[in-house]
Amino acid sequence: MIKRTLYFGNAYHLSSKLEQLIIVNKETGEEKQAPIEDLGFVVLDHHDITLSHYLIQQLAEHNIAVVFCDKTHHPSAMLFPLDGNNIQNERFRQQVDASEPLKKQLWQQTIKAKIRNQAQLFRLLGKDDEALKRFATDVLSGDTNNEEAQASRHYWGRLFSEYKIKFTRDRFGMPPNPTLNYGYAILRAAVARALVSSGLLPTLGIHHHNKYNAYCLADDIMEPYRPFVDKIVWEIMRDFPEYHVMTKEIKAKLLGVLSVDIIMNENRSPLSVGLSQTTASLARCFEGVDRQIKYPTLT
């Protein structure tokens, strides 16, 4: 079942009753309801939103990711349950005990999948993808030859060439960087949720290691999914002349990344479903059952 994403951009009081999310507009008093079991993500983007404690418990029990936005309307924090899987202790142990050679192989697979999806996006946009395909082929175990960085320079230097802008990918850079950041933050929350559902700890990465980052593994696993956000941002720039203004319409487009189609093992499914397959396959790799992470192909 595809889980719903709810976005709240005005003043609401949110509570729970009989397994229903109760939504009360603070200005008009209008009340709406939504089944909690249907939800996957709740995005809170207003300073005057309040939640009942019982609702927070209900959201955690149903493994619903809650994303909090800051005063610039960009995602800044996430809420996840501490216990998301019935064999979590065993999965944590397997994750901690994973060997360095295994983690390097998994990172090689991850970077290959990322660059292949970047190449696929170029194909879809009518751009030359030959260089990116070569970068993907040359990735070594652990990406010790840093093909990811070389591919990144090539990719970002050409992705938005139609729009006559001199683009540099920088988290704090000029548009469309903020739009990319917003989409990546939503994607990161979705990956973290899927990891928790698979009994994995989002903090312990296979490549990213930063003592100030609680989502290193999420940052690793989301890499091949980033081009799905990039495609949406490219379309936003095509369809919205004022793409640098984060309107509700643009946010809705970015939130829609969770329901876009992907191809996984020749089967078509929504991205949110594909994430669960990816993290489940990663858990099996840590368990020693598999040696290959399942990653999607961009459509």
Which residue matches tokens 């669960």? 276
**Rounded (5°) CA angle 258-262-264:** 125
Q: Measured in whole angstroms, how far is the alpha carbon of residue 27 from the centre of its chain?
A: 33
pLDDT of residue 155: 98
Q: Where are the domains of the chain?
A: 4-79, 88-298
User: Which amino acid belongs to residue 183?
Assistant: G
Mean residue pLDDT across the chain: 93
Per-residue pLDDT at 75: 83
Res. 211: pLDDT tops 80: no
What per-residue confidence (pLDDT) applies to 89? 79
Summarize the confidence of residues 127-140 as an average pLDDT. 98
Residue 226 in this model has a pLDDT that exceeds 90: yes
CA-CA distance, 174 to 244, in Å (whole number)? Answer: 9
Would you state the pLDDT for residue 90?
Answer: 86
The domain covering 88-298 belongs, at the CATH homologous superfamily level, to CRISPR-associated endonuclease Cas1, C-terminal domain (1.20.120.920)
pLDDT score recorded for residue 85: 54
**Mind listing the pLDDT tens digit for each residue in 150-201?**
999 999 999 999 998 889 999 899 999 999 999 999 999 999 989 988 989 8
Q: Is the pLDDT of residue 260 over 90?
A: yes
4-79: CATH topology = Ribosomal Protein L15; Chain: K; domain 2 (3.100.10)
Q: Is 213 helix (H, G, I), strand (E, B) or coil?
A: coil
> Quick one: CA torsion of 102, 103, 106, 112, rounded to 10 degrees?
-120
**Two tokens, residue 14:** 């949110």
pTM: 0.88
Grade residue 258 by pLDDT with cuts at 50, 70 and 90: very high
Query: At residue 4, does pLDDT exceed 70?
Result: yes
Percent of the chain with pLDDT over 90: 78
Give the distance between the most distant pair of CA atoms in the chain: 59
Rounded distance between C-alpha atoms, residue 191 and residue 295, angstroms: 12
Spatial CB neighbours of 83, under 8 Å, sequence gap ≥ 6: none
Average pLDDT over residues 81-96: 76
User: Quick check: 147 pLDDT over 90?
Assistant: yes
Taking only the tens place, the pLDDT of each residue in 38-85 is: 998 899 999 999 999 999 999 988 888 899 988 888 888 888 776 655
**Region 113-141: what's the mean pLDDT?**
98
Rounded CA separation 197/3 (Å): 13
For position 209, what pLDDT does the model report?
84
Mean pLDDT of 278-292: 95
Q: Find out whether 272 and 191 touch, Cβ atoms under 8 Å.
A: no
The mean pLDDT value for 260-271 works out to 93
88 pLDDT higher than 80: no
Angle at 7 between CA 3 and CA 8, to 5 degrees: 140
